[in-house]
Structure 1
């Protein structure tokens, strides 16, 4: 597979569960296994969460092609450019997002594993990320700072010892500089360093200036879900987001962490009457009043938050009418939708159940516009898969920026790629690296 018809560099797919080079046969700790990834909308940053509660951020660093920089603008526009190298991401920073907790009321251990990460709108050059485990959502701010490191200091001996001490503190290195959450002490020392003049008797040599990245937890959104959080999604208004568990979807304001609004509640008065659960939820990429959520019965509900404060009664249901017919014991199990994604223009929804990948037009609720068979060969083995609980495995899906190409995972390190209106219905099957535990 190549990036373009003119490209001569093949695109090599590798499957990595952990970071770093590891010798063959080395045991991998469970806390080091990657659990979720998310690209920023611009594609310049990649956030990766693992089972140890850490979030690692990578920044795109492509090699720039300067061979045509001497050409005029008209000549550059006439050239038919094609990518000759693949995007490269290098490590930027990492932070511990969640720690293991214990719910004493329910006698329940809460894992630190990161279930989802989502990028928020960039503000004032800072990056904002939402991360969540089973119960708690956190908003993180990532910002770059320039740090001056002092190589040599020569305080004037005529200065009193107190002034010399203040001058020395103002030029302390970043590693030794005391810092507080409000940042007051850091600002004070930096201002002191800026205002010091040579006439005051302090002479210093700057060794180097480095860019460093700082992360800080801005908000913590907790105690709003009785069941494990399965998805979070940012709104296009840049101010709100939703969090979903098996039975409820809550609407949050990014600036208010102690209050949320329950907009969808599927919990029956008697839990014995429960027939379906929420499996995934996603905001519309353009219209801030629309959101979609999927269920274990194979339904996708598209709701408008302007219609009612509680949105579960005024939903448009997208259901595959062609699936009616012979039903077996496994029909409802394999119909459960594990993930949904909107296309960038918001006109289509991609859904993934155990057997198929389906593309829906939000204006057509009777059937999907395309169905791509992923696990059709497993139909004769459903009984065996049920006995081993493999039939309940969840698979994610993703859609390309142009809305034409779709990808999802399968067993045996296989990646399935399909295209709507391009190529055959069988799609492309790519086998990743045979060493899944090595990056």
Structure 2
């Protein structure tokens, strides 16, 4: 992906603007000062997952002023803005609203100084839009403005949603369970974008088929029989058992999964004991598990339980002290699937609009994104989420196109070129929306 992005960046400025896109681009340019003012407000005032009250109210007010029929409080703090404009497809266009418990260190004059206590951890922290959701919301408003101005050019229903709690994997599920597709409308199409730290500002990347992964969090409590470190023969050491589990887990992807099927098992935390000379009763492992297909996901989760039990048995752990494997279903984020037909069409449409040097097919990633739940709720929906590069061009070129040398998403230093991201995303989403909802 790095080389594809760098090749595109090297000739980004050479792409000509097609005549058909000039009017839309000019109209977006006129709105950019107002949009960037909104972006800076959103950036300076982030809210954590499921706490997006001020954000939702502000953006709901903007949508109402534009003429949308707006419903707040869907799935918690979610917002649904509907505009019916004659017969035709139903297009869902989504932006996510939540920030992250990160202390901002960008040095921007509008940097966040917000602090809050995360409900899940109970830990007070700074809050920051370190994943770029502020650019997503700003472009959402930009698209709404352009679609209202162009009502004579399209027919159908525009279903614009602001989703809470993407970072915790809860928001899309909550909105669906609150009747998103029954209270409002069943979409024929669903589109969104995400800013990207792995690409230069203004570059568009698309993946066909699986684009983002199933994400599971798994806890393993390894139980043993504790005792004095000087007399290990009188104990059943859970640290040794947990270490064997960590090692054995490495063979699951390497030896049980087809080499052409992506999968990840990462042990992110190993905690046990409190003193040098005490063998503890328990050790705790925290895992992240990634996959694309549901079949691979099921195999990985089953293998984790099998290996944990087998390693305990090999250490003669009593039956009543077998490991406890907890799959955190509430934190599960399903894989995101881009409909191949819509993806191919969008690629060609974007290439003709922005020029082929700004658009490319890119590999899928193992990150998670709950946008995929909308497609999973109804596989007849044509669904697409695409990337818009956010790295400032001067920094990208100075780094030689190597994203490892630059701040990533979720970094306290993430400061995308907001003007390029918002302008590109607004134009791309509006262009695709007008195409999907084009009059016969």
* TM-score, reference length from structure 2: 0.26
| Structure with a larger share of its residues in strand | 1
Q: Which has the higher contact order (CA 8 A, sep 6+)?
A: 2
| Structure with a larger share of its residues in helix | 2
Mark the structure with the bigger radius of gyration.
1
* TM-score, reference length from structure 1: 0.26
